[in-house]
A and B are shown apart, each in its own frame.
Chain A
Amino acid sequence: MTQKIDLSDIYKIAPHHRFQWEEAQNCYVILFPEGMVKLNPSAGEILNLVDGINSVENVVTLLKEKFNDAGDIEKDIISMFEFALNKAWISKE
Chain B
Amino acid sequence: MTTLNNGVESNITQTQPLWLLAEITYRCPLHCAFCYNPTDYADHTTNELNTDEWIKVLRDARKMGALQLGISGGEPLLRDDIEDIVTEANQLGYYSNLITSGVGLTEKRIDAFKAGGLDHIQLSMHDITEEISNFVTDTKTFKLKQKVAAMIKDRGYPMVLNVVIHRYNIGHIKEILEMAEKLGADYVELANTQYYGWSLINRNQLMPTKEQIDEAEKITNEFREYIGNKMKIFFVVPDYYAERPKKCMNGWGEVFMIVTANGDVLPCHSARVLPNIEFPNVKNDQLNEIWYDSSAFNKYRGDDWMKEPCRSCSEKENDLGGCRCQAYLLSGDAEGADPICTKSPHRHLIDQALEDSKNEILQAQPIIFRTDKNSKELIQGEHKERLKDFKAMP
Q: Give A residues with C-beta under 8 Å from B.
A: 1, 15-16, 18, 20, 22, 24-25, 29, 31-40, 43, 88
Q: Which residues of A contact B8 (CB under 8 A)?
A: 35-36
- B189 at the A/B interface (Cβ < 8 Å)? yes
- Binding site secondary structure of chain B: mixed
State whether A36 touches B18 (Cβ < 8 A): yes
Interface segment among B59-67, B245-253, B349-357, B368-376: the answer is B59-67
- B97 at the A/B interface (Cβ < 8 Å)? yes
Task: State whether A88 and B9 are in contact (beta carbons under 8 Å apart), knowing that A22-B67, A24-B64 are contacts in the complex.
Answer: no
Q: Chain B nearest CB: distance from A91 CB in Å?
A: 10
State whether A34 touches B234 (Cβ < 8 A): yes
Q: Chain B nearest CB: distance from A45 CB in Å?
A: 13
Interface-centre pick from A36, A37, A40 (highest chain B CB count, 10 A)? A36
Q: Give B residues with C-beta under 8 Å from A.
A: 1, 3, 6-9, 16, 18, 63-65, 67-68, 93, 95, 97, 119-120, 122, 158, 160, 186-187, 189, 228-229, 234
Q: Chain B nearest CB: distance from A59 CB in Å?
A: 18
Number of residue pairs A-B, CB distance < 8 angstroms: 59
Closest to A44 in B: B1
State whether A16 touches B3 (Cβ < 8 A): no
Which of these, A1, A31, A33, A36, contacts B186 with CB under 8 Å?
A: A33
**Cα-based distance from A58 to B9 in the complex (angstroms):** 29
Task: State whether A25 and B65 are in contact (beta carbons under 8 Å apart), knowing that A31-B95, A38-B9 are contacts in the complex.
Answer: yes
**Cα-based distance from A43 to B2 in the complex (angstroms):** 12
Q: Which residues of B contact A1 (CB under 8 A)?
A: 228-229
**Cα-based distance from A56 to B189 in the complex (angstroms):** 34
**Cα-based distance from A29 to B158 in the complex (angstroms):** 19
10 contacting pairs across A/B (C-beta < 8 A): A1-B229, A16-B119, A24-B16, A29-B67, A31-B95, A34-B187, A37-B7, A37-B9, A38-B1, A40-B1
